[in-house]
Amino acid sequence: MLQTKIEIEEATGILKLLGDKTRLTMLKLIDEQTCCVCEFVEIFQTSQPSISQHLRKLKDVGLVKEERKGQWIFYSVNNKSAYYSFIKPILDQLPDQNDKLKQLEEKGTRISCC
């Protein structure tokens, strides 16, 4: 695939967002899956507002999309984003994070699959 060019300033904005452990892991997780906020809270063992704020930043640049299903809001990577081809090669070099979701399934706290 021919890569599209991205301006330096846009690139630094995106890279700044990826330069955070929580957000980068999130993106890797939801590149091929879907997660809701409370799952992230459990996975990252942090507060709900903190997770919401990270997701907000990713949403603001269009990297993730949300879909409400009842009381839950499910997040996934927006592969229609103009930046998707920029971040995909990065995500592909990261180790799989699915063990984190497996742990939720074992504890019975996984929601997204329903």
Partner DNA sequence: TAAGTATATAATTATGTGCTTATATATACA
Partner DNA sequence: TGTATATATAAGCACATAATTATATACTTA
Considering only residues 10-39, where is the footprint of DNA by CB under 7 A? 16, 20, 22-23, 36-38
Binding-site member from 1, 92, 99, 106 for its own copies (CB under 8 A)? 92
State the nearest-atom distance from the C-beta of 57 to DNA, in Å.
6
Strands 72-77 and 35-36: antiparallel
C-alpha to C-alpha distance for 99 and 104, rounded to whole angstroms: 9
Task: Please identify, among the stretches 46-54, 80-88, 89-97, 100-108, the one whose residues bind DNA according to the rule CB under 7 A.
Answer: 46-54
Residue nearer to DNA on the CB measure, 85 or 101: 101
Token pair for residue 95?
């180790």
Is 53 a binding residue for DNA by CB under 7 A? The answer is: yes
- Please give the residue ranges that form the binding site for DNA (CB under 7 A): 16, 20, 22-23, 36-38, 41, 46-57, 66, 68, 70-73
